């Protein structure tokens, strides 16, 4: 089912390729709208915040600004993995808040043709569907994330208020 509709969380116009930051979590390739990503940094020491929401690993100081950091492995219900040489924190703006996301690796800027985008398959009733679409890029599939659904509204405030 090809769809020329705009994928939520991606501001590209119909027909124009989606420009995404490509990254991996576990064995899967993901993409998030490039306009949402401020920067990609190496993992640094996080300060744990007591009573913070489950996926929040802690907070970090990014040039004088305290930002919450969410482990996408936890968010997606995957087993934890040791931080590796390729592990990165992707700093993005979500719902007016700057948030860090720990990912296993960041690959490249992806340009996925709009006509290759499809709606995610509906296999189960998911409480919070993070995936807004599936893009075909050469011989692989990229799960396109809806950035606004990656966090609960209270997560950034709860982590910051506890710090």
List all residues 6 or more positions away from 65 whose beta carbon is below 8 Å from its beta carbon.
98
Q: How large is the C-alpha radius of gyration of the chain?
A: 16
Distance CA 94, CA 76 (A): 17
In a domain, 38, yes or no: yes
Q: Are strands 28-33 and 140-145 parallel, antiparallel or unpaired?
A: parallel
Residue 157: the pLDDT is 52
Distance CA 74, CA 67 (A): 18
CATH classification at residue 136: 2.40.50.180
In a domain, 12, yes or no: no
Q: Where in the sequence is the domain holding 24, given as residue range(s)? A: 18-162
Q: What is the pLDDT of residues 30-85, one digit of tens each?
A: 999 999 999 999 999 999 988 888 788 999 999 999 999 999 999 888 898 899 99
In a domain, 121, yes or no: yes
Model confidence, pTM = 0.81
In a domain, 5, yes or no: no
In a domain, 2, yes or no: no
In a domain, 10, yes or no: no
Yes or no: say if 71 and 81 are a contact pair by the CB < 8 Å rule: no
Q: What is the pLDDT of residues 87-119, one digit of tens each?
A: 999 999 998 899 999 999 999 999 999 888 988
How many structural domains compose the chain? 1
In a domain, 120, yes or no: yes
For residue 151, give the DSSP letter.
S
């Amino acid at each position: 089912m090809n769809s020329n509709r705009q994928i939520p969380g991606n501001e590209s116009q119909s027909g124009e390729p989606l420009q995404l930051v490509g990254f991996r979590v576990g064995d899967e390739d993901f993409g998030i709208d490039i306009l949402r990503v401020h920067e990609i940094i190496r993992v640094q020491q996080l300060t744990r915040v007591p009573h913070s929401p489950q996926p929040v690993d802690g907070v970090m100081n990014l040039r004088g600004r305290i930002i919450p950091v969410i482990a996408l492995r936890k968010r997606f219900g995957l087993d934890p993995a040791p931080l590796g040489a390729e592990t990165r924190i992707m700093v993005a703006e979500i719902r007016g808040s700057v948030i860090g996301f720990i990912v296993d690796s960041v690959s490249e800027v992806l340009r996925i043709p709009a006509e290759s985008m499809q709606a995610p398959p509906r296999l189960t009733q998911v409480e919070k569907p993070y995936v807004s679409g599936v893009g075909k890029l050469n011989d692989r599939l990229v799960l396109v994330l809806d950035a606004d659904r990656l966090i609960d509204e209270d997560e950034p405030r709860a982590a910051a208020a506890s710090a």
